[in-house]
Amino acid sequence: MDSEHKLKGNPRFVSAYIGIGSNEGDRVGFVQQCMQFLKDVPGITVKESSSLYETEPMGVGYSVWFVNAVAAIETSLSPEQLLVVCKEIEKRLLDFDGAQNVKKELIMETVVQGRRRIIDIDILFYGDAILDSDDLRIPHPTVAQRSYALVPLLEIAPNFIHPRLQKSIAQIHESLSRPEQVFLYGTRGTNGQMG
């Protein structure tokens, strides 16, 4: 099998995990559209997707709760090619101008300020690869500190081993000292505010 992978034109498929989040407009709709766009890309097979989670916003300036999910994929794309695909999907959804009456100029302004995101797509893991470049860091540098990524990963890949930390997703999540709040979508109270 390994020798087959080395043959020219016979791609090697790698398992990867893609984090998806939105806190602007139709958050669920944007995450679902993103999942569908991933399924439509040649060289990507979505093997499994987590449930949708509503997650507490982190960082200065964030106020709207995010909807997050993780997709488990198999891909013949390189990490750099996969990054290009993710950026293209983000742009496609950013260009969306319709049902939510969200003006494009406002979207661009708020995205630049880092407060609202129509869609945010991150490569969390790419097999057991460790990559540090100006454009791409794998594993994602904050994945081990963020419940919004770890909880969906717990659902679909609890035993996956973080290539740098050599700990499973379950072990990493257990060790979080101050995790942000994460709710299965639809279970957070209507007046559940950060508190």
From residue 58, alpha-carbon distances to 86, 94, 147, 180 in Å are 22, 21, 10, 8
Structure tokens of 175? 């060790």
pLDDT at 8: 45
User: What's the rounded mean pLDDT across residues 168-183?
Assistant: 94
The better pLDDT of the pair 97, 123 is held by 123
72, 73, 38, 86: which is closest to 155 by C-alpha? Answer: 72
Residue 116 confidence (pLDDT): 67
User: pLDDT of 58-74, one tens digit each?
Assistant: 765 667 899 999 999 99
Q: Which CATH architecture has domain 12-184?
A: 2-Layer Sandwich (3.30)
**Nearest CA among 187, 121, 114, 175 for reference residue 150:** 175
| Residues 6+ away with beta carbon under 8 Å from 174 | none
User: What are the extents of the domains in the chain?
Assistant: 12-184
At 98-131, the pLDDT tens digits run 444 444 444 444 444 445 678 999 999 999 999 9
pLDDT one-digit tens code per residue, 146-162 = 999 999 999 999 999 99
